[in-house]
């Protein structure tokens, strides 16, 4: 037993170091796994925080700003079936495809029509773009801190937030951004990994992206140029050449029917933007990418230089990297340069360059910026570098830190303007204008009343839902004859009231064509201004409806009148006008030439509450009808008021009134009832 025991002790003693080594290895492995899981958990929590932050920035004040014209057009356009949307897109030569209209058509049947609801799909695609951006960067092998930082930049981008809160074609630009990011990610997946599921997803997403915006073709071109480069330099990848081009052929065949139907739109669309020079186009692109569009014009050159410096530093660090990073650089440069360059080239022959068309090129910008900033900030590893590396990296770190601070300040100020400053926002006062039009048309016969715009802005028709007929005069841009014909058709159809809110758009109504045409058939009886819109109120008065006054002046001068409130109701409201149409009878030779006409509105106690005193011109007697407008005070109490008219001569001492034939100094014209609308 002792020997056995002794031998056992001896054997255990020899195993002790081995067991200790195994235990230490297990504990070390456990510690590594715990640290790895902690790192993964931290990264995921940070990613979730970034995505939630993106959602918060996009939902903030989502419905506070007014719907702009393009958003309203998308809403009105989508209130039809799919077949009608396709037919209208082709017939009206709408310059964008139909995918986003289809989404809106479905959505408006599920949600209400508020500004918030209309824009929520844009918000969805804007947040989805942030998540897809992270997935793309991860597939490109970017370091986790770099990728999270770039994702945070995209989440807070004023440029992306603006389009994520805009319902143009129901989030067309946010939708295009999300789809083109997904398309690029799937292109990399099929090139690196293959698999029928990725090939199918790539083809489907490409087809949807092309049906969302025609310029998605530029992203496809960039992906194909990258694929060709990859096939040329990587032998292993060449086994995917045939599947790759088969997918492109399938995508082209799937899209060809729509492309054929829309060929006349693509060939003949005149454009509605501009054609800048290449330096100007680059300046505008880099500026909006860096800090968005909500910056003063004079500052955009500075922010363009900032964006350029950040790009250069990102490219610098990728060039210094490994071969895998060089391939990431090739993809990102193609992804950025191809859509920007082709958008500019497309604008050379027609004015179609617009910052919103560049949104698909934004992801590579932020990936390169994130690489440049984060790699430079990681200069704390400089202790292991050579002296030469230290001399290069430390100044770069200081420069990049300063650029980052300026970028974040610029983004913050731009967002603040977007949310709160009407000058940079979408609110133009459409709500107030629509409310005033509803007030003016309330109670008027709908078949005799027209609310006409002098420019076809659908934002008004989104907000104005009154019963009056809605129209545009001139119906054709800068066409005086079409305006005259339309005004004449109003008169022939028995229209009595035309309310015209004016918007200054020179390329449609460059010379007051609407006012000139309406003045030929109607009488301007009132004017108001709501926000930035002057409102002209026109009425059609038949001279035969004028009533002869009950008395005359100077034994031979008299007039016929018609009195009506400016809004056409049987009563007037405080703050509106009373309109008097007048036709003179008699010879102006009986006048000395210094006389004035007066219109006085009196309350039941005979106190004066409103008046006008126009001069009398001899040419007035030649006019078939004159129109005078008497403004009523905003604080005028409800009740009945007497409207009287008379003449006096301010050139005589005491400005005496001229007596009538019946020895009175005025003639009563009407009793005006005043009530709030």
| Residue 2: predicted pLDDT | 35
User: How far is the C-alpha of 408 from the C-alpha of 390, rounded, in Å?
Assistant: 27
Q: What are phi and psi of 103, to 5 degrees?
A: -60, -45
Residues 300, 405 within the same domain: yes
Domain boundary among 518, 539, 560: 539
Q: Find tokens 């058709």 and name the residue.
A: 489
Residues written for the chain? 677
User: How far is the C-alpha of 84 from the C-alpha of 414, rounded, in Å?
Assistant: 39
Write down the H helix ranges in 479-632. Answer: 480-492, 513-519
Tell whether 99 is covered by a domain: yes
| Residue 100: predicted pLDDT | 87
What DSSP string describes 563-601? Answer: EEETT-SSSB-TTSEEEEEEEEES-GGGS-S--EEEEEE
How many other C-beta atoms can be found within 10 angstroms of the C-beta atom of residue 260? 8
Domain boundary among 358, 390, 420: 420
CATH code where residue 557 lies:
2.60.40.1930
Bridge pairing between strands 577-585 and 596-602: unpaired
Residues 107, 250 within the same domain: yes
Token output for 71: 């958003």
Tell whether 52 is covered by a domain: no
User: How far is the C-alpha of 22 from the C-alpha of 328, rounded, in Å?
Assistant: 42
Write down the H helix ranges in 193-240. Answer: 196-212, 216-233
Query: Which DSSP state fits 454?
Result: S
Tell whether 608 is covered by a domain: yes
Tell whether 5 is covered by a domain: no
Yes or no: say if 643 and 671 are a contact pair by the CB < 8 Å rule. yes
Residues 194, 96 within the same domain: yes
Tell whether 502 is covered by a domain: yes
Residues 154, 212 within the same domain: yes
Residues 115, 239 within the same domain: yes
CATH code where residue 452 lies:
3.40.190
Yes or no: say if 112 and 164 are a contact pair by the CB < 8 Å rule. no
How many other C-beta atoms can be found within 10 angstroms of the C-beta atom of residue 609? 16
Tell whether 20 is covered by a domain: no
Query: Which DSSP state fits 294?
Result: -
Residues 531, 551 within the same domain: no
> Which residues lie below 8 Å from residue 564, measured CB to CB, with a gap of 6+?
525, 539, 578, 579, 581
Residues 519, 635 within the same domain: no
Residues 576, 664 within the same domain: yes
Burial of 545 (0-12, 13-18, 19+ CB in 10 A): exposed
User: How far is the C-alpha of 241 from the C-alpha of 229, rounded, in Å?
Assistant: 11
Residues 520, 405 within the same domain: no
Omega within 30 of 0 (cis) for the link into 474: yes
Domain boundary among 381, 399, 420: 420
Could you report how far apart the first and last alpha carbons of the chain are, in Å? 116
Q: Find tokens 């400005």 and name the residue.
A: 655
The number of domains in the chain is 3
Total-model pTM: 0.79
668 DSSP β-pair partners: 644
Tell whether 356 is covered by a domain: yes
| Residue 7: predicted pLDDT | 39
pLDDT, tens digit (0-9, with 9 covering 90-100), for 305-361: 999 999 988 888 788 766 567 888 999 999 999 999 999 999 998 999 999 999 999
Torsion of CA 481, 482, 486, 487, to 10 degrees: -30
Residues 330, 303 within the same domain: yes
User: How far is the C-alpha of 555 from the C-alpha of 578, rounded, in Å?
Assistant: 28
Q: Could you list the residue range(s) of the whole structural domain that residue 511 is in?
A: 430-539
pLDDT beneath 50: ranges in the chain: 1-12, 18-19, 27, 29-30, 32, 380, 382-384
Tell me the HSE value of 179 on the side-chain side, using a 13 A CA sphere.
Answer: 26
Residues 474, 403 within the same domain: no
Tell whether 50 is covered by a domain: no
Residues 238, 134 within the same domain: yes
């Amino acid at each position: 037993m002792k020997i056995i025991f002794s031998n056992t002790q001896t054997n255990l003693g020899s195993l002790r170091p081995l067991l200790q080594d195994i235990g230490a290895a297990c504990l070390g492995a456990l510690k590594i796994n715990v640290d790895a899981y902690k790192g993964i958990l931290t990264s995921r929590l940070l990613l979730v925080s970034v995505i939630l932050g993106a959602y918060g920035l996009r939902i903030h004040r989502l419905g506070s700003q007014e719907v702009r014209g393009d958003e309203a057009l998308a809403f009105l356009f989508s209130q039809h079936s799919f077949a009608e949307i396709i037919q209208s897109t082709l017939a009206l030569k709408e310059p964008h495809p139909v995918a986003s209209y289809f989404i809106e058509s479905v959505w408006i049947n599920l949600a209400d029509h508020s500004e918030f609801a209309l824009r929520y799909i844009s918000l969805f695609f804007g947040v989805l773009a942030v998540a897809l951006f992270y997935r793309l960067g991860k597939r490109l092998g970017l370091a986790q801190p770099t990728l999270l930082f770039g994702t945070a930049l995209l989440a807070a981008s004023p440029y992306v937030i603006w389009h994520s809160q805009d319902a143009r074609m129901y989030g067309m630009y946010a939708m295009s951004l999300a789809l083109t990011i997904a398309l690029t990610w799937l292109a990399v997946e099929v090139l690196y990994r293959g698999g029928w599921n990725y090939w199918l997803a790539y083809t489907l997403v490409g087809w949807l992206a092309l049906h969302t915006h025609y310029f998605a073709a530029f992203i496809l071109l960039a992906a194909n140029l990258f694929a060709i480069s990859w096939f040329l330099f990587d032998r292993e990848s060449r086994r995917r050449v045939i599947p790759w081009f088969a997918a492109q052929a399938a995508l082209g065949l799937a899209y060809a029917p729509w492309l054929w139907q829309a060929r006349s739109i693509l060939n003949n669309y005149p454009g509605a933007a501009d054609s800048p020079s290449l330096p100007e186009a680059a300046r505008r692109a880099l500026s909006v990418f860096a800090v968005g569009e909500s910056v003063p014009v004079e500052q955009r050159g500075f922010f363009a230089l900032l964006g350029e410096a950040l790009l250069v530093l990102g490219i610098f660090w990728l060039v210094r990297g490994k071969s895998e990073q060089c391939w990431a650089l090739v993809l990102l440069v193609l992804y950025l340069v191809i859509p920007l360059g082709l958008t500019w080239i497309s604008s050379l022959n027609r004015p179609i360059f617009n910052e919103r068309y560049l949104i698909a090129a934004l992801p590579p910008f932020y990936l390169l910026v994130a690489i440049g900033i984060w790699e430079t900030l990681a200069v704390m590893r400089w202790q292991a570098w050579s002296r030469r590396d230290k001399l290069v990296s430390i100044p770069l770190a200081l420069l990049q830190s300063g650029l980052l601070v300026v970028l974040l300040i610029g983004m913050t100020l731009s967002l603040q303007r977007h949310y709160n400053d009407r000058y940079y926002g979408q609110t133009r006062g459409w709500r107030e204008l629509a409310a005033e039009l509803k007030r003016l048309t309330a109670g008027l016969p709908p078949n005799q009343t027209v609310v006409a715009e002098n420019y076809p802005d659908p934002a008004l028709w989104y907000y104005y839902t009154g019963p009056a007929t809605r129209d545009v005069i001139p119906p054709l841009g800068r066409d005086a004859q079409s305006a005259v014909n339309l005004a004449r058709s109003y008169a022939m159809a028995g229209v009595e009231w035309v309310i015209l809110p004016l918007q200054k758009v020179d390329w449609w109504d460059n010379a007051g064509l609407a006012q000139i045409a309406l003045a030929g058939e109607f009488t301007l009886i009132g004017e108001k201004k709501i926000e930035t819109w002057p409102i002209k109120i026109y009425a059609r008065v038949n001279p035969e409806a004028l009533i002869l006054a009950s008395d005359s002046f100077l034994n031979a001068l008299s007039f016929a009148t018609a009195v009506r409130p400016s809004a056409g109701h049987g009563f007037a409201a405080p703050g509106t006008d009373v309109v008097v149409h007048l036709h003179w009878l008699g010879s102006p030779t009986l006048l000395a030439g210094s006389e004035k006409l007066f219109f006085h509105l009196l309350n039941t106690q005979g106190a004066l509450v409103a008046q006008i005193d126009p001069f009398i011109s001899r040419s007035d007697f030649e006019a078939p009808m004159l129109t005078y407008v008497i403004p009523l005070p905003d604080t005028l109490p409800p009740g009945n008021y007497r409207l009287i008219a008379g003449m006096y001569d301010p050139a005589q001492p005491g400005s005496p009134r001229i007596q009538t034939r019946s020895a009175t100094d005025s003639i009563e014209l009407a009793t005006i009832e005043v009530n709030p609308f």
